[in-house]
Amino acid sequence: MKIMVSEYPQLRQLCWNRPDDAVIDGETALALYERNWRFVDRDAITPRERRLIDRLVAEHGQGHLLVAG
């Protein structure tokens, strides 16, 4: 799965140091969400981005989003 970072606002924030047209794979995206979850504005996650996170968790996280707090 290839993900265009700019299409997902919270992921875009997590990828602040990457080019605007960055494309990452699903495993990398899930790792970014998990490692940086404290910076994700959960109230601002769009339904589309929520579906992406759910899909990443199902495909790469064995059904679990591993975040602290």
* CA–CA separation, 67 and 69 (whole Å): 7
Q: CA triplet 7, 13, 33: central angle to 5 degrees?
A: 85
Residue 40 lies inside a defined structural domain of this protein: yes
pTM greater than 0.75: yes
Which of residues 67 and 49 earns the better pLDDT score?
A: 49
Residue 21 belongs to some domain of the structure: yes
Q: How far apart are CA 20 and CA 43, in angstroms?
A: 23
Q: Is residue 68 part of a domain?
A: no
pLDDT value at position 68? 78
Residue 46 lies in a domain: yes
List the domain range (segments joined by +) for residue 7. Answer: 2-60
Cα 43 to Cα 12, 39, 50, 55, 58, distances in angstroms: 16, 12, 11, 19, 22
| Residue 66 DSSP class | -
pLDDT in tens, 8-54: 999 999 999 999 999 999 999 999 999 999 999 999 999 999 999 99
